Chain A
Amino acid sequence: MLRMTLAVLRKDMTLTLLRSSGLAQALLLGLLLVFVFSLSQGAGESLSARNAAAVFWLSSAFCQVLIFNQLYALEETNDSRLGLILCPAPIQAVWLGKAIAGVALLLLAQCVFLPATVVFLGQDLAGPLRPALAILFLTDTGMCALGSLLGALAQGQTTRESLLGVVLFPLLTPLLLAGTGIGAQAFGDADPDGPGAWLGLAAAFDAIFLAAGLLLFAFLYGGEE
């Protein structure tokens, strides 16, 4: 399974990064969101740390929808999905490979969104960075575990971008709250309770949806029509 996972990961990363439109559309959409929110500030004002963290995660969520649409669209041309299904390996390797590719691409995008949030929304990384990095990893993992599962669900639909967004965003709420809570602390917002509860919640989310992905992906992608 690991070999197949790595093969899917390598294929998806190569195809996405080598295409001119690749990650650009998702990146531009996220950046545009950060910029549009910056317009809500008056001259000399800056957004509150919590608002800025929410904008950062909102950009990441929209970016993630486009990433998974693109990752699952790769197999739609030439019916190559059948080729993946016929590979002599567990079908879950496809889910895992695409989820890891999603995490890698999302992290790349966030490398642009984070400085954009600091610059456009007037933030300063004044809070503790270790929990912020932990929540970044945990939230991205959960988002991509679920995104990879539901990306297969929306596959083949003409309105898949909006469909995936409508189904995925409400499900991601606990993770986005966790990300926003700790993100606000990283931008200097004081929280007497600390990051422990949010980290625990994000870890629980990851555990549940990694298990759900492993169990349920075969139903969606197994070729049953």
Chain B
Amino acid sequence: MPGRFLPPLILLLAGSLSLACCQYLIYFYAPAEATMGLVQKIFYIHLPLAWWSLFSFFLVFLGSVAYLLKRAPGADRLCAAAAEAGVLLSGLALLTGMLWARKSWGVWWTWDPRLTATLVMWFIYAGYLLLRGLGLPPRRKRLVCAVAGVVAFLDVPLVFVSARIWRSIHPSVLGAQGGGLEPEMKVTVSACVVAFGLFWAGLVWLRKCQLDLRARMRGSVD
């Protein structure tokens, strides 16, 4: 069993090293933004956090559908690992966004729709994690969580659309015209997204292995 931990640990290490290399790109390669200065560097952390948290939630949806179709406990454990990572990353995205907002808009928090949408998603999946902590019989809990995982993800596009109708002041980063990013900035943010992706994959995989091991131990005890 410990051998199973090796691939995710390698991935996690590769992600950590890539993230360390990204610091060079962030602070020495990418130019400082004219109006925001050093604080703009938060963007290189904030964007990958937000994107990978969204991908985590998508993985919860896929795992939930897989569980409902196949009743495979492994799919449920994948959902648990992805949801934990998603809540952590979206929480950090919110925190880094608040630091950005303080410098850019002069307030820690504003009811900007995209911020609100991210916060709502955080609440939805925090509620989902709460469900996972209930003392239900294991099969019932897996079923309930799978249904909640599907319902939660179905709501995500609606949250975004409702947020867009409620006019946004959030900067459009990678729009059709590139959102005003310099080429060096684009390279840096792409590298950060890939590095965070490696780190995220290692994290989710490692947590899944832990949950597998716990399930196996409980199974042997029972």
Q: Which residues of A contact B (CB under 8 A)?
A: 146, 149-150, 153, 157, 163, 166-167, 169-171, 173-174, 177-178, 181, 193, 197-198, 201, 204-205, 208-209, 212, 216, 219-220, 224-225
Contacts and interface: CB of A to CB of B under 8 A. Distances in A.
B154 A225 contact: no
Specify the main secondary structure of chain B where it touches its partner.
Answer: helix
A193 B123 CA distance: 29
B32 interface: no
B139 interface: yes
Contacts of B134: 157, 163
B162 A178 contact: yes
A173 B120 contact: yes
A198 B143 CA distance: 33
Contact of B165 (A146, A201, A219): A201
Contacts of B150: 212, 216
A215 to B, nearest CB: 9
Q: Return the 3 tightest CB-CB contacts between A and B, nearest first.
A: A170-B123, A174-B162, A174-B158
B155 A225 contact: no
A205 B128 CA distance: 20
A205 B147 CA distance: 17
Specify the main secondary structure of chain A where it touches its partner.
Answer: helix
A212 B166 contact: no
Interface residues of B, number: 29
Contacts of A212: 150-151, 154
Most buried by B among A171, A205, A209: A171
Contacts, number: 80
A149 B120 CA distance: 20
A199 to B, nearest CB: 11
Interface of B: 68, 120-121, 123-124, 127-128, 130-131, 134, 137, 139-140, 143-144, 146-148, 150-152, 154-155, 158-159, 161-162, 165-166
Given A163-B130, A208-B158, A150 B151 contact: yes
B118 to A, nearest CB: 12
A64 to B, nearest CB: 16
27 contacts: A153-B131, A157-B134, A167-B127, A170-B123, A170-B127, A171-B152, A173-B155, A173-B162, A174-B158, A174-B159, A177-B165, A193-B165, A201-B161, A204-B158, A204-B161, A208-B158, A209-B154, A212-B150, A212-B154, A216-B68, A216-B147, A219-B68, A219-B143, A219-B147, A220-B147, A224-B140, A224-B143
